[in-house]
Chain A
Amino acid sequence: MTALLQVKGLSAWYGQSRALFDLDLSIEQGGVTALLGANGAGKTTSLRAICNMIRRTGTTTMDGTDISRRTTEDIVRLGVAHVPEGRGTFVALTVEENLRLAFHIRRDRKAAERDMEKVFAYFPRLNERIHQQAGTLSGGEQQMLAVARALMLAPRLMLLDEPSFGLAPLIVQEIFRILRRINEDEKVSMLIVEQNAALALELADHVYLLETGKVVMSGPSDMVKNDETLRKAYLGY
């Protein structure tokens, strides 16, 4: 497999304080990579830095194209869909409008219409609530909407920031099942950030462990799953 997204020497700052220290990441084409670590390890920051949402240095290349200095909008247009922390719902727009927003940057209208149907096949619940104001959706539905919005961009890479956050275990399982299907059927590569390490390890095939803004370990997820000392030391189970 070849790397779809290559990150080299990524550092990031919030004001004066440095949050990331020379991160190197390599996201495989078609795979699911997980970024794991405790609170404040720099997981969310890494996703934000890749999308140029914060001040950062280092290089990121997407499929050979240097995207280090592109704007967030351009990076999205190049096929990186970011499902942000907090879900980023457009609360006063309807569910349909939330999804149709993708038509603004899609040139292939017909394909976009097909994607809309596909999204509703993955998330029938959104179809039931299509004309509802998105702010009135439950947390789980809003998370589904966030993934669905990202899917509408026809991305090659999805960055998922804690899709399990604040949701009931049953809903989390449903969402992760769908994510697995999206990865397999749509060939969308994924970089997922999770607090719930056990869950992420199920989905991911490759893992990076972060601690205070540095990569402390990386490898196949099976390796982490089977290494009890590693799990106990960094993932707390």
Chain B
Amino acid sequence: MEFFIQQIVAGLTNGAIYACVALGLVMIYVSTDHINFAQGEMAMFATFLAWAMIDAGVPYWVAFGLTIMVAFFGGLFIQRVILKPLENAPVLALVVCFIALLSIFNAIAGMIWSFTIKQFPSPFPSRDLFGNGLVSAQQLGVVAVTLVMLGLLTVFFRYTTLGLAMRAAAQNASSARLMGVRVSWMLALGWGLASGIGAIAGMLVAPIVFLDPNMMAGILVYGFAGALVGGIANPLGAVAGGFIVGVLENIVGSYVIGNELKLSFALVMVIGVLLLKPAGLFGRVIVRRV
């Protein structure tokens, strides 16, 4: 029983990270209909920046905040400078562009910081929280950071007019323009947010998997699975999907198929959901009268 609970908790911790990655993917998908394959590498790059800052003596939480800001503006910059000129380009060109970004970030990180793995500090102690070996402070911290971020994003999108403008732009760009919304800046803002969320995911996962330029490869697949399981067009669904994937892969990994096949299980989930419920478990079909 104890082992089972431990697996659930570990699954939720991983799930929180997958949820962040999934949310970053969804953020860009809903506004542009694109899947940003470079999401993981951008997160990895941001995590290296945080590592460099902490290595230079900057306190953890200061580095954490600064990294999110740098990642935000980096994402904004990428959209304005690289993707905006490709506005009317065919989808395939964009896919190539995302893959190029992926390998560029990977190569630059390797060039600057080398491909040897590095230890990334965690702000949370790894000690046992309730003295029964079930939940560590580290695990609780990861989930808490994710939930705080989700809360802030929900407030932003639901209760601010800027958030509303972003949602409107994502839904109906030409109509949003007619309401005076600068749609292309909303897309850039979406990229900035996605990049910032990705940075959080990177910094949360780095203490667990160790920091190296390839650390996000597997995580991105899980994040992708989370997004698809929950519904790629639904932010809350993606978050729930992230947690579901995290828990299931852990349970199935420890009891059924062994750790080696965990990643394959994530892909099986993707295929299963797409076959049975293409909009995702929480994908909402918009009611519309015409």
Contacts and interface: CB of A to CB of B under 8 A. Distances in A.
A90 B177 CA distance: 12
B287 A136 contact: yes
Interface stretch (A102-110, A192-200, A206-214, A216-224): A102-110
A101 B168 contact: yes
Contacts of B286: 91-92, 133, 135
Contact of B289 (A77, A82, A135): A135
B288 A104 contact: no
A102 B177 CA distance: 11
B114 interface: no
A77 B179 CA distance: 8
Interface in A66-97: 71-73, 76-77, 81-82, 84, 88-93, 97
A76 B175 contact: no
B182 interface: yes
Contacts of A105: 179-181
Interface centre among A73, A103, A135, A139 (most CB of B within 10 A): A73
A104 B171 contact: no
Contact of B179 (A136, A137, A149): A149
Contacts of B179: 76, 101-102, 104-105, 149, 153
Interface residues of A, number: 31
Q: How large is the interface on B (under 10, 10 to 19, 20 to 34, 35 or more residues)?
A: 20 to 34
Contact of B181 (A91, A97, A104, A137): A104
Contacts of B288: 91, 135-136
A103 B161 contact: yes
A51 B174 CA distance: 11
A30 to B, nearest CB: 22
Contact of A133 (B175, B182, B287): B287
B164 interface: yes
A7 B2 CA distance: 77
B180 to A, nearest CB: 4
A91 B181 CA distance: 17
B178 A92 contact: no
A17 B205 CA distance: 55
A138 interface: yes
A73 B289 contact: no
A121 interface: no
B177 to A, nearest CB: 5
B91 interface: no
B181 A88 contact: no
Interface centre among A72, A81, A103, A138 (most CB of B within 10 A): A72
B180 A73 contact: yes
Contacts of B165: 101, 104
A104 B164 CA distance: 8
Given A101-B161, A135-B288, A53 B181 contact: no
Nearest to B286: A92
Interface of A: 51, 53, 71-73, 76-77, 81-82, 84, 88-93, 97, 100-105, 133, 135-139, 149, 153
Given A53-B174, A105-B181, 12 more contacts: A51-B178, A71-B177, A88-B174, A93-B171, A97-B168, A102-B180, A104-B162, A104-B165, A104-B179, A133-B286, A137-B289, A153-B179
Interface of B: 161-162, 164-165, 167-168, 171-172, 174-183, 286-290
